[in-house]
Amino acid sequence: MLGFTQAECEGTVVTTFLTPESALRVSAELATVARKYAEDGHPLTRTYYTEEFLALHKSGPPVTIEVTAFIWQNEKNRCLEVYGLLRDISDRKRAEATIRAGEARLRLAARAAGLGIWLWDFADGSLDWDERMCEIYAVPMDERSPDHYFNLWHAHLHPDDRVQAETTLAEALRTGTEWDHTFRIVLPDGRVRHLHTVSVTEYSAQGVPSPHGRHQPG
């Protein structure tokens, strides 16, 4: 994983293979566990933990590893012992960074175009709006919460457009097809705003739908 042979690893401590910052974090964690145990003398309340660290590769750049450490007391000499498992998660971290960069570019492009982005998570029922969506619907700061957005959307629908908007949305969710619809909303001050929305529905590995899309003022 790190390019070292077994002989090179024997007789060394794990912090030898970590970047200075990661080594300090590991040492501090172990010192905290040992100190708390010495102070109260009670059985360990945390027998394992999982953290991410940067490890030194023998012939390449640092590697991101996930460490799962198991800590317990040796019954013979009552000393604390630590055993651990290491997993290289560099590819996963690079993929996550790529996704974050893509999301940032999408938000920037949507902001430049005046688009509002929303995501409806059926797993927990939350409907998330970005800042631009809140601006389109003139949502006060104290009402900006995933728990409120669906009711706000429904309440703002123009009375003459409500049935069709709800019907087409329900059909898109039922069939998993794109929701491409134009409707009007009524703002708190009485102004009417025309919106065009386009959304798609993605499904998790468990088959839970998660529609997401954008609103564009007309």
Q: List the domain boundaries for the chain.
A: 6-88, 114-217
pLDDT at 211: 65
Classify burial at 83, counting beta carbons within 10 Å of its beta carbon; exposed 0-12, middle 13-18, buried 19 or more.
Answer: exposed
**Is 6-88's fold the same as 114-217's?**
yes
Instruction: Count CA within 13 A, CB hemisphere, residue 114.
Output: 7
pTM for this model (two decimals): 0.51
Place of tokens 């069709």: 164
* In the predicted structure, residue 187 carries a pLDDT above the cut 60: yes
pLDDT at 139: 93
- Comparing CA positions, the residue from 96, 107, 152, 150 lying closest to residue 132 is 107
* In the predicted structure, residue 184 carries a pLDDT above the cut 80: yes
* In the predicted structure, residue 44 carries a pLDDT above the cut 60: no
Confidence of residue 137 (pLDDT cuts 50, 70, 90): very high
CATH-assigned architecture of domain 6-88 = 2-Layer Sandwich (3.30)
**Residue 197 φ/ψ, nearest 5 degrees:** -120, 145
Average pLDDT over the chain reads 80
- Tell me the fold of 114-217: Beta-Lactamase (3.30.450)
Least confident of 75-79, 127-131, 150-154, 158-162: 75-79
Classify burial at 218, counting beta carbons within 10 Å of its beta carbon; exposed 0-12, middle 13-18, buried 19 or more.
Answer: exposed
Confidence of residue 17 (pLDDT cuts 50, 70, 90): confident
Confidence of residue 59 (pLDDT cuts 50, 70, 90): confident
